[in-house]
Amino acid sequence: MYIKYLPLLRSSLKKFLQNQVVTTSTLAMAVTTFSSDFTSSIQAARLFKALILDAHNLYPKITPLAIKSIDTVEGEGGPGSIKQINFEQDGQMKYVKHRIDALDEEKMLYAYTLVEGGEALKEKIHSISYEMKFEPNPNGGCIGNKISKYHVKEGFEIKEEEFQEGRLKDFGVFKVIEAFLLENPNAYV
């Protein structure tokens, strides 16, 4: 359906890698933290609605080659709820489950923890927690930040290359949704 965005995605990846600021730190108790900033010409509230609040409807529609469905398998969709993201069968992972830790529509803040799936990293980590924040950009659009905290098992470490792989996939979905919103200016207003 939205395969037309693939050329945009390819050209955007190079620019993304050149312009992103990534901060890494390793804390006591083997927590490796990655922080990355992003900008968009889309208003923060629209982007938050599309990427976070309506992800279960939007992602499968516009990224059908990657995401089959997103289902709330426990709870009502707020903090404490568990969401399962089902991937198309061709990929390495069949699904992942996230526990929503915080969802603040007013502050445009979303935090969640990977609680199941991600088998490739399972031998190295106890869990991964994420926090996303969207803020209006004074020049229009929005500024965002995503913090990823890898709670690493003793004797292991997470290298930036391993983090980059997941970040690039996230960025690909982000760019497709951003392109959709640019093409549909009345969506999620």
CA distances from 103 to 17, 128, 153 (A): 28, 17, 28
131 - beta bridge partners?
Answer: 111, 147
- How far does the chain reach from its first CA to its final CA, in angstroms? 22
DSSP string, 83-152: EEEEEPTTSS-SEEEEEEEEEETTTTEEEEEEEEE-HHHHTTEEEEEEEEEEEE-TTSSEEEEEEEEEEE
Please tell me the pTM assigned to this model. Answer: 0.81
| Residue 24 binned pLDDT confidence (cut-offs 50, 70, 90) | very low
Q: What percent of the chain has pLDDT over 90?
A: 52
Tell me the C-alpha distance between 171 and 157, whole Å: 23
Amino acid found at 95: Y
- Give the SS3 label for residue 37: strand
The separation between CA 120 and the C-alpha centre of its own chain, rounded to angstroms, equals 18
| Residue 27 binned pLDDT confidence (cut-offs 50, 70, 90) | very low
Q: List, for residues 36-59, the tens digit of each pLDDT value.
A: 899 999 999 999 999 999 999 999
